[in-house]
Amino acid sequence: MKATYQKYILDFKKPSGTSRGIITQKETWFLIFENEGKIGIGECGILRGLSADDRPDYEEKLQWVCSNISLGEKVLWEALMEFPSIQFGVEMAFRSLSSKTPFLLFPSEFTSGQKSIPINGLIWMGDEGYMKQQIEEKIAQGFDCIKLKIGAIDFEKEMQLLQFIRQNFGPEAIEIRVDANGAFGKSEALDKLNQLSGFELHSIEQPIQKGQHDTMSFLCKKTNLDIALDEELIGVFSFADKETLLQKIQPQFIILKPSFIGGFRGTNEWISLAEKYKIGWWITSALESNIGLNAISQFTFLKQNPMPQGLGTGALYTNNFDCPLEVKNGALFYNPELDWKVNFD
């Protein structure tokens, strides 16, 4: 058995606004396993400045994996505890290698084209006009759940955007999720959450910066607006620490990004704890290429969570890989009649 890795730079069609500024490119890495004429591909999706494994020794760890592939998936996964995106790449590559084809990881009614996954439409940060344009486009495309990134422009203007949606669409027609990416200060957070709750939102992701567990716990108890933890889960590696975090904060929801939390196994650990403590959850991609998105989507379908999931970023890039994933009427479909075209050059 042979293993290699490859770096790949994804180019955005248009500069995209995030809580960490404007991004035009996104770096990702692929693990490629070969055995007896079969190939397995796994994506290690890292986001610089956010991923727990954004470290100087990242490529060195990829080299280590390729040199120690004979240890097997379980031993490698446990040895990669502080490299969750590589954990995911290893899991994906082994699953890909053992599958009928490299991209059919979890055969189901989703991969046969019979069923789809409901998803939210993502509204990127930008000026008021650009965000309003995106909202109108998503609604026209049939989305009944949209997610707005907030905290980048003036709070009053963001409130006006929410007012614009609610004047035209009630909560029974459009579910609104907002993501603050930690933009609110401790002293202002409760007041802002209470103002936002007037728009009958579904939830808000990460209102304050991660690591402020006492304040986050207080907000989850006091606000009328359900809170979802996102960045808060990054860098929490052991099962015991995961449980301690959820017991302490008691959020209404958690958001699970396999590239950030240790792949399939790490996601399953968080789900088991969420269900133990009656915390809602959904799964989200994290700007992976279509290879990573495909694996996450197939895994997500098996979980049978009826809530809209955070999938469907494939159309953002000019140099993504052609694949069977399609977004139609606010849902993600797998069209088995479409072929994969993968070239890392």
Query: Which active-site residues does the annotation give?
Result: 149, 257
- Distance between CA 124 and CA 114 in Å, rounded? 30
Report residue 195 as tokens: 């103002």
Bridge-based pairing of strands 175-179 and 145-149 is: parallel
In whole angstroms, give the CA distance from residue 253 to residue 227. Answer: 6
By the 8 A CB rule, do 220 and 229 touch?
no
Locate tokens 């020794």: which residue? 57
Return the sign of the alpha-carbon dihedral for residues 208, 210, 214, 217.
Answer: positive
Token pair 């707005």 is at which residue?
Answer: 148
- Name the β-bridge partners of 75: none
DSSP string, 27-83: EEEEEEEEETTEEEEEEEE--TTTSTT--TTHHHHHHHHHHTGGG-HHHHHHHTTT-
In this structure, the strands spanning 325-328 and 331-334 are: antiparallel
3-class DSSP assignment, residue 116 = coil
Residue that is written with structure tokens 């790949």 in the block: 8
CA nearest neighbour of 219 among 242, 248, 241: 248
Show the tokens assigned to 277: 């403590």
Amino acid present at 273: L
**What's the Cα-to-Cα distance from 137 to each of 131, 154, 163, rounded to whole Å?**
10, 22, 17
Here the tokens at position 18 are 């995030």
C-alpha separations of 115 from 38, 142, 152, 253, 298 in Å: 29, 17, 36, 25, 11
